[in-house]
Amino acid sequence: MPYEREMEVCRRAASVAGEIALRYHRSGLTPEEKDDLSPVTIADRECERAIASLLTEVFPEDGLLGEEGAARESRSGRRWIIDPIDGTRDFVRGNHLFANLIALEAGGEVVAGVANFPALGALYLAGKGHGAWRDGVRLQVAETASPSKAVLCYQGLNNVAPAMRGTLLDWFSQFWAVRSMGGALDASFVAEGQADIWIEHGAKAWDLAPLKILVEEAGGRYFNFDGGSSIYAGNCVCTNPNLEAVVRRFFGLL
């Protein structure tokens, strides 16, 4: 089947980056501040260099797009999208929620992706037509159909417009629980059936690309607040199919 090799290389690159990240995570480091006020560390840059080097060695015709500046034009119609350390704020504070994210985009579609959580010992991998996996176990989204029994994950509450805050909190009240674990882990939990909905208020393509295919290959749904299905829209919803209408109705899509 297509993308088997790409999945394996993707997994290998994320594992290499995970080892680098863990080394810095244990020793501690001081972040710098980027123009958008988000933190960046030497570990982010070293992880991105390692990922880009491995991908370039194996797939020299493919393009690159990395959060920390890795860039190469594609000669194959394919591009690797890299977030070397997703959750740098978590990373520099010493908690375990950070991830190495890598995805392959081909023909405008995400066809392979990995979310590696090295400090948790968890690696999630997906490929188009291959399903979504963690440690050799195939993943499937939950079948929860009632919000009263559902776990909702919402990322970016600090960026919600003031006019929306009351409405959002009222909507939250129907769910069994509301969590926020940093985005990548939220989406992975949806794919694994440990949560039911993930809503991301503000993110870049490198934050969303591998999570999109991970959830979709686990049987879930991915869409933007305007009803599209892009990794470039800056926001997304991931949900199990039974709760899709609940979320679409909230965003005025039904």
Q: What is the pLDDT of residues 44-97, one digit of tens each?
A: 999 999 999 999 999 999 999 999 999 999 999 999 999 999 988 888 888 999
What pTM does this model have?
Answer: 0.94
155 bridge partner residues: 200
Q: Assign 37 a pLDDT band (cuts: 50, 70, 90).
A: very low
Residue of 217, 213, 4, 232 whose CA lies nearest to 111: 213
Instruction: Return all residues near 142 (Cβ < 8 A) that are at least 6 apart.
Output: 193, 194, 195, 196, 240
Q: Tell me how far apart the alpha carbons of residues 122 and 62 are, in angstroms, rounded to a whole number.
A: 27
Q: What is the pLDDT of residues 207-219, one digit of tens each?
A: 999 999 999 999 9
